[in-house]
Amino acid sequence: KIELMGSAFLQEKKIQGSMMGSNRFRADMPRFVDFYLAGKLHLDEMVSKRIKLEDINQAFVDMKSGSVARSVIMVDS
C-alpha cells in the first residue's frame, strides 16, 4: 500500500515504474562496452573500492557509513 498526497498530482507529477532502468540490454550493452573501450565511459572512476567476496560484510558497513559509494567484488578466474 502506498499513501500519497493528492495535491502533488495537481502539479502534473506522476509515478512511473522501471525495471533495470528500462534499459534495452541487447542494444545498450554493446554500446556501453564501445563507449568504455573508447574512453567515453569512465567506469573505473565510479568504483570506490574493489573487494574480495569474503569482505562483503565490511563492504556493506562501509556503504552504510558513507565511506564508499560503490564497491566491486573481484572474483578470481
Q: What is the pLDDT of residues 29-69, one digit of tens each?
A: 999 999 999 999 999 999 999 999 999 999 999 999 999 98
Separation between Cα atoms, residue 52 and residue 22, nearest integer Å: 30
Separation between Cα atoms, residue 48 and residue 40, nearest integer Å: 19
Backbone φ/ψ region at 56: left (φ over 0), alpha (ψ -120 to 50), beta: alpha
Confidence class for position 77, pLDDT limits 50, 70, 90: low
Region 21-25: mean pLDDT is: 85
pLDDT value, residue 36: 96
pLDDT value, residue 31: 95
- Say whether pTM exceeds 0.95: no
| Distances, alpha carbon 41 to alpha carbons 14, 31, 47, 64, 65, in Å | 31, 10, 13, 26, 27
Instruction: Retrieve residue 16's grid coordinates.
Output: 512511473
- Return the DSSP state at 13: -
Confidence class for position 20, pLDDT limits 50, 70, 90: confident
